[in-house]
Amino acid sequence: MIDRDLAELYGVETKVLNQAVKRNIERFPERFMFQLNEKEFEFLRSQTVTSKTETRGGRQYLPYAFTEQGVAMLSAVLKSDTAVLTSIMIIDAFVAFRRFLQNNSKIFTEIDYLKKHAIESDRKIDELFDKMDRYKIEDRHGIFFQGQIFDAYAKFESFIAEAEKEIVLIDNYVDLTVLERFTKKKNGVKVTIFTYPKTKITSLDIQKFNEQYPTLVLKHTEKIHDRFLIIDNKILYHIGASLKDLGKKCFGFEIMDSSWIAEIIRNL
């Protein structure tokens, strides 16, 4: 995304946005942000309607482009509430678009095949896109590999977003990073965490959490080895890694038969 477009979304001037970035330049390596060259800028200008001040003559520098990681980092340097909320919405859009591409990869391959073989029938193309609109796959299982930390946390937060009334987490190694994930739950959703008695989470941590995001209850158990996430007492996830370690090593998740929920709760 180009700096001027991001500045408009964040409700600040382009100059203000870039000044904030320059003051925190160590947060923006090249894979987060880069400056367009003259050829790239001219191509961009030819593809969009720009004001006089956005031409090379009116603008004193070539624009900066921000990758997905750079957009996420902007929320750390632009401190306003608007900037933070805007960054969350942009990242949510990135994640949703990536999931859409993954879920529909076979359809895109078929579209490419049709193009290469020069099929002239627009009717078949329209039919294919109609199928794509209806083709929605609920991810019931998957694997995340080492380093996919953002993707793993985004997936976990999508589970949290499903809850309307209650979330139960069973994880022996909960820490404050896990509590931070639960700040994304819907208002009024109760959270119960079962974890090892020697957890580093304190009663003060729970108190501070509940002052902002009620209600969370911490309970102790030594009877369960695996990690489970129960949503509204009807969806049961098995997660292969402790939630504090998501993306650090390869792990998998899957939806299990919900009839096991009552038996798991009885054995806590």
Q: Please write the tens of the pLDDT for every residue from 8-55.
A: 888 888 998 999 999 999 999 988 999 999 988 888 887 765 544 454
Predicted pLDDT of residue 108: 64
Same domain flag for 122 and 83: no
Q: Which of 134, 150, 183 finishes a domain?
A: 134
The parent domain of residue 126 ranges over 104-134
Predicted pLDDT of residue 238: 94
Same domain flag for 63 and 168: no
Same domain flag for 73 and 166: no
DSSP string, the chain: -BHHHHHHHHTS-HHHHHHHHHHTGGG--TTTEEE--HHHHHHHHHHS---GGGSTTTSSSPPEEE-HHHHHHHHHH--SHHHHHHHHHHHHHHHHHHHHHHHTHHHHHHHHHHHHTT---HHHHHHHHHHHHH------EEEE-TT-HHHHHHHHHHHHHH-SSEEEEE-TT--HHHHHHGGGSPTT-EEEEEE-TT-S--HHHHHHHHHHS--EEEEE-SS--SEEEEETTTEEEEESS-GGGTTTS-EEEEEEPGGGHHHHHHT-
Residue 216: pLDDT band by 50, 70, 90 thresholds?
A: very high
Same domain flag for 207 and 251: yes
Residue 262: pLDDT band by 50, 70, 90 thresholds?
A: very high
Same domain flag for 81 and 147: no
> Residue 190's domain is classified under what CATH number?
3.30.870.10
Identify which has the larger pLDDT, 68 or 57: 68
Same domain flag for 145 and 163: yes
Same domain flag for 120 and 167: no
Same domain flag for 148 and 214: yes
Structure confidence by residue, pLDDT tens digits, 154-210: 888 888 988 999 999 999 999 998 999 899 899 999 999 999 999 989 999 999 999
* Number of domains the chain contains: 3
| pTM to 2 decimal places | 0.49
Tell whether the torsion through CA atoms of 255, 261, 267 and 268 is positive or negative.
Answer: positive
Same domain flag for 212 and 149: yes
Predicted pLDDT of residue 118: 54
Same domain flag for 254 and 151: yes
Same domain flag for 119 and 157: no
Please state, rounded to an integer, the average pLDDT across all residues of the chain: 82
